[in-house]
Amino acid sequence: LFKNINLLYISILLTLSVLIVVFLITNEKTTSFVLTLIKIPKEKQEEYIYTMSQVFKKEVLFKTLFLSFIYIGTAFLGALILLKSMDPLANPLLVFSLPLLMLFGNIPITISGLGLREFVTVYCFTHLGATAELGFSFSIIWFIMTVLIPGLIGFFFILKK
């Protein structure tokens, strides 16, 4: 199906890394140990642990998780519509590179991630059997749709105030 399975391994590694970090920041003993190592005062440690316990209450966690799934689902649907409008024969599984694009687009190396995100998109698309041109075009149009247009709309709303 794909030319290279390394992207699958990278995705699995990133997912496991996130799960480990979430476990570490929610575990009271681990958190206390790390905060003591970096010499955070005891009252700040208790405040952090209390805040994390409030964040990870079931009702707050489930609401946040539900809203996250809605956001990601909407993003995947929009990306699929964009991909199919650009190339009707494109493999719909290319959309699953979207989390990597979002992750690398947020690394503060370039302005709004421009350039880095396009490189990652071209890399992912070519390794998943699509053309580099499709990857680059997809990335630029996705940036315009999800960042530039909403940002300009917000800018004009701020100007009205």
Per-residue pLDDT reduced to its tens digit, 138-160? 999 999 999 999 999 999 999 98
Tokens 């680059």, residue?
A: 136
Per-residue pLDDT reduced to its tens digit, 31-72? 888 888 888 888 998 898 888 888 777 788 788 889 999 999
Q: Which of 56-65, 66-75, 77-86, 121-130 has the lowest mean pLDDT?
A: 56-65
The alpha carbons of the chain give a radius of gyration, in whole angstroms, of 20
Tokens 């979207």, residue?
A: 98
First to last CA, the chain: 52
What DSSP string runs through 88-101? TTS-GGGGGGHHHH
What DSSP string runs through 3-24? S-SHHHHHHHHHHHHHHHHHHH
Q: What is the CA angle 96-102-108, rounded to 5? A: 155
- Cβ atoms of residues 128 and 5 within 8 Å: no
